[in-house]
Chain A
């Protein structure tokens, strides 16, 4: 199960498992994001390359208009995936506390 929506503070909040079967859900939402945004990943348990591709596509589009996604509250497992994908070079990433 994967969910992505805007939180009350205006941040993007995503939760669950972003696998290849859920990527279309993420892409449909992210395609509607037109400004730089913070993505709260505290509930994101898992991401595979398909989900990474959706984030990368969004980052390229948003950076072209002056700002990108900031990924915050990233857990260790997802943080490792981001690192091995080289996302620490192209996204601003903050790990979850503790």
Chain B
């Protein structure tokens, strides 16, 4: 299942609706949806913010594969920007030393099982994988789904 979205944060409502439809069609535990919403939002917003010169739409592709949910975002005709190369945020710093920003990729790393980046032919693709953990309704909600 895939769809392209205008490169604007105003696309987020449409993206969340698309993700909800995917969960319904695939009968995936809705308790996992906040995690996928958040990771897709963070990666999409990164693409919007860090390739401001781009004017093409961003493609979101989602599939269920071998017990995993696989979601990939592709930005077309852009310079290379690999968010996985960004150093992780130090969340132990005192408040005075904390700087707003940079938390997005940190949260994505915490919540998914893998995060991969590919760049070729001026196409930037980032893919996340998240284990579905059994039957729908098996309890991937609340505090249970976050990876330590």
Contacts and interface: CB of A to CB of B under 8 A. Distances in A.
Contacts of B92: 86, 89
Interface residues of B, number: 32
B9 to A, nearest CB: 5
Contacts of A83: 146
B91 A86 contact: yes
Contacts of A50: 45, 104
Given A21-B10, A49-B104, A60-B98, A76 B38 contact: no
Interface string A70-98: 00000011011101111001100000000
A56 B102 CA distance: 12
A49 B102 CA distance: 8
Contacts of A45: 34
Interface of B: 9-10, 12-13, 16, 34, 37-38, 41-42, 45, 89, 91-96, 98, 100-104, 106-107, 110-111, 141-143, 146
Lowest 7 CB-CB distances: which A-B pairs, in order?
A: A86-B91, A53-B100, A76-B142, A49-B104, A49-B103, A90-B95, A21-B9
